[in-house]
Chain A
């Protein structure tokens, strides 16, 4: 992970200015009065909170949830840092700002909690959005960067699960190819090709049942796993999906591009690799 330099400078600046403030207003205690355990504990908390704050700032886009999480962690960091400095520098108890600084710790925890609450709501929305893309469980690695769909490795995993479950319920696998996709890439450039892939992925997602799983197999080939469907019903659903995509209008900079799909389907069963190779052979012949 690469860190942006600004938040790092900001956090370091805050920590340093607190040290300067303490040094300017208080008296440094003799070394034998320092409680090293407390200093290590509170200082460590402050530094780790600083790292968490930077991770949050660097891994999320700006927004309410990000600000609450980062703000909460920053408060915890400052509160603990003030606690830690208190161990080494004596501040006159009449100074209210010292107490205020230490109370940042519970305040930070409160803000962090609120942030986590909103984060939970945000996750619920995202999970809903991702349902048709990931099905039964979440695993973060196997996602295609262009379409944000699961990739072939995830599809094989799901096929294996489907075989292992083997509860007698039917299940079908459908592959889709974009007709003449290589021509779109050649004539409009592969960046436009990527946009076509994204558009087709969206159109397919909108027309799937909740229990279906859409993957990008590779290139312009998509795969849909349709649990609970007999082969005829799956072929019917596939024809409907092809129809929906063909009615879609894709606008490239050079004018509209007609997009049509062809499909092949088979009931799931047997080794995933053999099933996929067989279906791919039929797609090539089509």
Chain B
């Protein structure tokens, strides 16, 4: 059975990410009552308590509204990593290369970045990190993506001692102005893409970082692995599950039973995370199709066969429904 964490249950230690966000809000002259409105959290946060992801999301959305400043999401991102999660954060800081850093981040994502789940792929010449919503936050998704991308960019810059030439893709329309993106992320920005991703030339992946120590890194990894596992959010777990089973045509009933609940309960849970099964499945199939089209240079016929469609026309129609564009131009656009 697959372990997962619903958004409504307390799972994030208040002294970690929520405390950092609260402290930042205060430093920008916002008051606790405003920052914690409708979260059900007490003023000042009880440091030893747990906060549910939906409370933390509400807190972030309050903070964005209260500070009303275009740089809030980026500044919160700068504070996010390496974080204060003991061994997992320590393992991040000790990473001797970008590859180890990304592997560590993806392995302990439920602790380090509970709201968005990072996934990391690499193929000839390209490293790709993309972010998947773990608890369903449609309202502040764009801000969360900015926050997490800034966190990773900032951490790499700090540990590597140089600014890496990241390129960025955003699954949203172009904002009116991008000065904050320019300064906190970089100038290579593309909007209207099908996923929130950051790309880097492959050569940076294994370049040793200054003050890197293989031994210290291995010890830190061991320590982090000994600590209790934090379970990923429902949507993060579902994404992983669907990606693994995408060729088998996953159904709601089968998935619900693998997640250990009845189909009705599973449906209700997904609704509480502001989504539904078909939407999540379509997202995964979009990502797989993108990978096949842009990386494997597959044609519609091959993608259709891979994903179990009757024919290319069927796939083409579905892809148009998922993304609003046809596969042709997507295939032509280099990732």
- Binary flags per residue of B168-195, CB closer than 8 Å to A gives 1, else 0: 0000000001111011101110000000
Judge whether B247 is part of the interface by a CB distance below 8 angstroms: no
> Could you tell me if B158 and A276 are in contact, using CB atoms closer than 8 angstroms?
no
Contacts of A145 in B (CB 8 A): 69
> Could you tell me if A284 and B186 are in contact, using CB atoms closer than 8 angstroms?
yes
> Could you tell me if B179 and A284 are in contact, using CB atoms closer than 8 angstroms?
no
> Could you tell me if B183 and A220 are in contact, using CB atoms closer than 8 angstroms?
yes
Judge whether B75 is part of the interface by a CB distance below 8 angstroms: yes
Which among A218, A273, A276 has the highest number of chain B CB atoms within 10 Å? A218
A34 to B74, CA, bound (A): 64
> Could you tell me if A153 and B184 are in contact, using CB atoms closer than 8 angstroms?
no
Return the chain B residue nearest A189 by Cβ.
B27
Contacts of B69 in A (CB 8 A): 145
CB distance from B203 to the nearest CB of A (A): 17
Contact A182-B78, Cβ < 8 Å, known A218-B180, A277-B182: yes
> Could you tell me if A219 and B183 are in contact, using CB atoms closer than 8 angstroms?
yes
Contacts of A218 in B (CB 8 A): 70-71, 179-180, 182-184
Contacts of A281 in B (CB 8 A): 187-188
> Could you tell me if B182 and A221 are in contact, using CB atoms closer than 8 angstroms?
yes
- Binary flags per residue of A218-233, CB closer than 8 Å to B gives 1, else 0: 1111000000000000
- Binary flags per residue of A79-97, CB closer than 8 Å to B gives 1, else 0: 0000000000000000000
Return the chain B residue nearest A283 by Cβ.
B187
CB distance from B301 to the nearest CB of A (A): 39
> Could you tell me if A182 and B180 are in contact, using CB atoms closer than 8 angstroms?
no
> Could you tell me if A221 and B183 are in contact, using CB atoms closer than 8 angstroms?
yes
> Could you tell me if A284 and B163 are in contact, using CB atoms closer than 8 angstroms?
yes
CB distance from B303 to the nearest CB of A (A): 34
CB distance from A220 to the nearest CB of B (A): 7
Residue from B27, B70, B179, B182 within 8 A of A190 (CB atoms):
B27
> Could you tell me if A217 and B187 are in contact, using CB atoms closer than 8 angstroms?
no
Contacts of A185 in B (CB 8 A): 78
Contact A276-B182, Cβ < 8 Å, known A183-B158, A190-B27, A284-B187: yes
Contacts of A284 in B (CB 8 A): 163, 165, 186-187
> Could you tell me if B183 and A190 are in contact, using CB atoms closer than 8 angstroms?
no
> Could you tell me if A153 and B177 are in contact, using CB atoms closer than 8 angstroms?
yes
Judge whether B106 is part of the interface by a CB distance below 8 angstroms: no
Judge whether A152 is part of the interface by a CB distance below 8 angstroms: yes
> Could you tell me if A152 and B177 are in contact, using CB atoms closer than 8 angstroms?
yes
Judge whether A247 is part of the interface by a CB distance below 8 angstroms: no
Return the chain A residue nearest B163 by Cβ.
A284
A156 to B154, CA, bound (A): 27
Contacts of A6 in B (CB 8 A): none
Return the chain A residue nearest B67 by Cβ.
A145
Contacts of B165 in A (CB 8 A): 284
- Binary flags per residue of A267-286, CB closer than 8 Å to B gives 1, else 0: 00000010011001101100
Contacts of B27 in A (CB 8 A): 190-191
A221 to B69, CA, bound (A): 16
Contacts of B50 in A (CB 8 A): none
Q: Tell me which residues from 48 to 82 in chain A have a Cβ below 8 Å from any Cβ of chain B.
A: none
Q: Tell me which residues from 4 to 59 in chain B have a Cβ below 8 Å from any Cβ of chain A.
A: 24, 27
CB distance from A145 to the nearest CB of B (A): 7
Contact A217-B78, Cβ < 8 Å, known A153-B177, A182-B154, A190-B27: no
A191 to B188, CA, bound (A): 29
Return the chain A residue nearest B188 by Cβ.
A281
Residue from B79, B163, B177, B180 within 8 A of A219 (CB atoms):
B180
Contact A186-B158, Cβ < 8 Å, known A219-B71, A277-B187, A284-B187: yes
Contacts of A220 in B (CB 8 A): 183
Contact A190-B157, Cβ < 8 Å, known A218-B184, A276-B179: no
CB distance from B215 to the nearest CB of A (A): 25
CB distance from A28 to the nearest CB of B (A): 46
CB distance from A260 to the nearest CB of B (A): 16
Contacts of A190 in B (CB 8 A): 24, 27, 75, 78-79
> Could you tell me if A217 and B177 are in contact, using CB atoms closer than 8 angstroms?
no
- Binary flags per residue of A137-170, CB closer than 8 Å to B gives 1, else 0: 0000000010000001100100000000000000
Residue from A152, A183, A186 within 8 A of B179 (CB atoms):
A152
Q: Tell me which residues from 235 to 286 in chain A have a Cβ below 8 Å from any Cβ of chain B.
A: 273, 276-277, 280-281, 283-284
CB distance from B50 to the nearest CB of A (A): 26
A217 to B184, CA, bound (A): 11
Contacts of B163 in A (CB 8 A): 284
Residue from B71, B177, B182 within 8 A of A280 (CB atoms):
B182
Residues of chain A touching chain B, judged by Cβ–Cβ distance below 8 Å, are 145, 152-153, 156, 182-183, 185-186, 190-191, 217-221, 273, 276-277, 280-281, 283-284
Q: What are 21 contact pairs spanning A and B, CB under 8 A?
A: A152-B177, A153-B177, A183-B158, A190-B75, A190-B78, A217-B179, A218-B70, A218-B71, A218-B180, A218-B182, A218-B184, A219-B180, A219-B183, A221-B182, A221-B183, A276-B182, A277-B182, A277-B187, A284-B165, A284-B186, A284-B187
Given contacts A218-B71, A280-B187, 12 further A-B contacts (CB under 8 A): A182-B154, A182-B158, A186-B78, A191-B27, A217-B183, A218-B179, A277-B178, A277-B182, A277-B187, A281-B187, A283-B187, A284-B163
